[in-house]
């Protein structure tokens, strides 16, 4: 009986030690896993910060995005980009996205693109910005007249009020011509849910907050003050 008790105590101690080792390993694994996730998120944040030119941009909300567009965005994180020229924000739809130079496929997978030939952010003309209808710009379907649009640069933030929403054919670049007030024009494909290349363009125009806008009939051929406007590539 004496040896039986000793054996039971020994087995109990061994069992407690093994349980302690198991619990310790689990805790260590969880800590290491969290550390790795934090490291990964830190890398992603650094990539986003690099792409936004030092301006603070939160991670995108993928809830309205297509699976393909989410995949394209994630793959774009491995690419190097020149710093963003601005950050576009639309509070109504919780949109916050870097504005990159140009409208090539890679730029539009990472953010939205400044259309060549239009005014640069912070300027007094018409800032043309293109984005994918199944990505960053899908939320445009939920905006309305009077909603605000913000453009942030390193020099400050400009606020615009939406005063025109129109659907046009892809060939119509007159919407990118200068208006009578400082403006921003957002361009995406339409319909928002369409299989293949969408046949039309959804245009959202906003003028400087507080400005009384009178549409100008000038520059019907799409010539801007900063050069010939280039029709953006399909935003799919």
DSSP result, 191-235: SSS-SSS-SEEEEEEEEETTPPP------TT-EETTEEPPPPPP-
Instruction: Supply 81's token pair.
Output: 């980009």
- Residue of 2, 5, 94, 132 marked catalytic: 132
Q: How far apart are CA 138 and CA 132, in angstroms?
A: 7
Scored b (16 or more CB within 10 A) or e, 128-150 reads bbbbbbbbbbbbbeebeeebebb
80 catalytic residue (yes or no): no
Cβ(133)–Cβ(235) below 8 Å:
yes
User: SS in 3 state form for 37-53?
Assistant: HHHHHHHHHHHHHHHCC
94 catalytic residue (yes or no): no
Positions annotated as catalytic residues are 132, 189
């Amino acid at each position: 009986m004496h040896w039986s008790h000793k054996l039971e105590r020994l087995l109990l101690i061994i069992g407690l030690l093994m349980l302690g080792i198991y619990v310790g390993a689990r805790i260590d694994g969880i800590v290491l896993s969290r550390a790795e996730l934090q490291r990964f998120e830190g890398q992603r944040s650094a990539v986003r910060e690099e792409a936004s030119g030092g301006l603070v941009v939160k991670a995108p909300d993928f809830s309205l995005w297509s699976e393909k567009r989410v995949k394209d965005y994630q793959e774009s994180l491995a690419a190097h980009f020149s710093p963003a020229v601005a950050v576009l924000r639309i509070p109504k739809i919780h949109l916050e996205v870097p504005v990159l130079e140009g409208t090539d496929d890679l730029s539009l997978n990472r953010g939205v693109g400044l259309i060549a030939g239009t005014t640069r952010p912070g300027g007094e003309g018409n800032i043309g910005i293109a984005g994918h209808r199944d990505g960053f710009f899908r939320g445009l379907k939920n905006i309305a007249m009077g909603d605000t649009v913000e453009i942030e640069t390193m020099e400050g933030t400009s606020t615009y009020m939406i005063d025109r929403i129109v659907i046009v054919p892809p060939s119509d670049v007159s919407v990118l011509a200068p208006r009578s007030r400082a403006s921003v024009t957002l361009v995406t494909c339409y319909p928002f849910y369409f299989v293949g290349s969408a046949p039309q363009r959804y245009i959202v125009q906003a003028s400087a907050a507080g400005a009384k806008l009178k549409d100008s009939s000038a520059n019907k051929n799409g010539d801007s003050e900063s050069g010939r406007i280039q029709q953006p590539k399909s935003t799919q």
